[in-house]
Amino acid sequence: MDKFSQEKRRSIMGSIKSKNTTPELIVRRLLHKLGYRFRLHKKDLPGSPDIVLPKHKKVIFVNGCFWHGHENCKKSQLPETNREFWQDKISKNIKRDAENIAKLTELEWGVLIIWDCQTKKKDLENLEKILDNFIRSNNQSC
């Protein structure tokens, strides 16, 4: 049973942002610290990537673990109520993400997925290395 009423739960879920989230701002700060410059939410690319580095032909998606179904992550556990709805919604998100990544790769863009759970304070040094290695590498995806 949900500890919130339906109205309260709807209000909570409706207030969640899709752009300029805290994890996204953390990744952007790290990229600036590393000296990289980028564009945000380019609508002319599949999936409107959160961060686009045109000079390097790389894109970064900063995904919420719950909304994008991060496997084996405690933040991606489905609510007890309305499970079928959430399973369907998140499955569609996962499918759409895979299609967008395939399109970007076909267009020869490098793609990196950063998960919300990777942006915790204790993990920032490692995240900084991941970002720098991805941008410097010739790999298409990470």
List the pLDDT tens digit at each of the 142 positions of the chain: 566 676 765 665 555 656 778 999 999 999 999 999 999 999 999 999 999 999 999 999 999 999 899 999 998 888 888 889 889 999 999 999 999 999 999 999 999 999 999 999 999 999 999 999 999 997 655 5
Q: pTM of this prediction?
A: 0.85
Task: Give me the domains of the chain, ranges plus CATH numbers.
Answer: 16-136 (3.40.960.10)
Place of tokens 């405690």: 74
Q: Which residues are paired to 40 by β-bridges?
A: 51
